[in-house]
Amino acid sequence: MSKIPAFGLGTFRLQGQVVIDSVRNGLELGYRAIDTAQIYGNEADVGTAIAGSGVRREDLFLTTKIWVDNTSKDKLVPSLEESLAKLRTDYVDLTLIHWPAPGNGVSVDAFMTALSDAKARGLTRRIGISNFNIDLTKQAIASVGKDAIATNQIELSPYLQNRKLVAFLQSEGIHVTSYMTLAYGKVLSDPVIGALARRHQATPAQVVLAWALQLGYSVIPSSTKRENLASNLLAQTLHLTDDDMAQITALERNGREVSPDGLAPQWD
């Protein structure tokens, strides 16, 4: 059983009052896991929304991610301390290395050791990785051990199922967190998804999120609309049949949406 919540609220591309409203609405609706990152530029806004929500810190699961400029031994801990100040908390529940940035001059061992140090200092309860391929995940395991790596947060949708990487992570007992599960909304207009949604009297987003949840992944969809935030949560109670799942599996097209030069590894 993974300790990472199956359902969280993403905040990518949301800033200012927009992210404050999204997080506030999410918390009011029952979300308790919030995902942010240093590079999103919204940690302080997320902190503001949480502070005003009345939800107890111990009832929340907060994730942030270390940006590539801050992965060196001398910068990682101070940068995380800055993130905590913005989030108005003494610790986060999970801290990830955002991108492996293989050409950045900081080795996997160096940043994983620094991340481990942050955990030892109590700044983060768990540590993990994001956007790592199999080879780089193996390097991270060699550095801190597979049991220390709580998750690999990867782009994963019906159009990009990342089966080889997922199989490797599962074989190592490393939890999979799916981001961009709706492929920037592209899968929502897919006729196969639409037909399944109609049959289940569900929304296309609920169908796709239910698919990812049934595969054992955590999901962190974002929305600026309260009704969508509420609707997405209902994916947790939608059960897809084996045939439904097989129809979605057949949508694979290696449709990657995010692969920034200099940050991304060679994908498996």
**Tokens 């913005």 belong to which residue?**
86
pLDDT at 1 (0 to 100): 32
Q: Do residues 178 and 157 lie in contact, with contact meaning Cβ atoms separated by under 8 Å?
A: yes
Question: Candidates 3.20.20.100, 3.40.50.2000, 3.20.20.80, 2.40.440.10; correct CATH number of 9-184?
Answer: 3.20.20.100
pLDDT at 199 (0 to 100): 98
Concerning whether 40 is annotated as a catalytic residue, the answer is yes
List own/partner pairs for 193-199 with CB under 8 A and 24 or more apart.
Answer: 193/158, 193/248, 193/251, 196/240, 196/244, 196/247, 196/248
Angular region, 201: left φ>0, alpha ψ -120 to 50, beta rest? left
The full set of domain ranges for the chain reads 9-184
pLDDT at 3 (0 to 100): 81
Residue from 40, 159, 179, 217 carrying the catalytic annotation:
40
Q: What is the pLDDT along the chain (268 residues), one digit of tens a residue?
A: 348 999 999 999 999 999 999 999 999 999 999 999 999 999 999 999 999 999 999 999 999 999 999 999 999 999 999 999 999 999 999 999 999 999 899 999 999 999 999 999 999 999 999 999 999 999 999 999 999 999 999 999 999 999 999 999 999 999 999 999 999 999 999 999 999 999 999 999 999 999 999 999 999 999 999 999 999 999 999 999 999 999 999 999 999 999 999 999 999 9
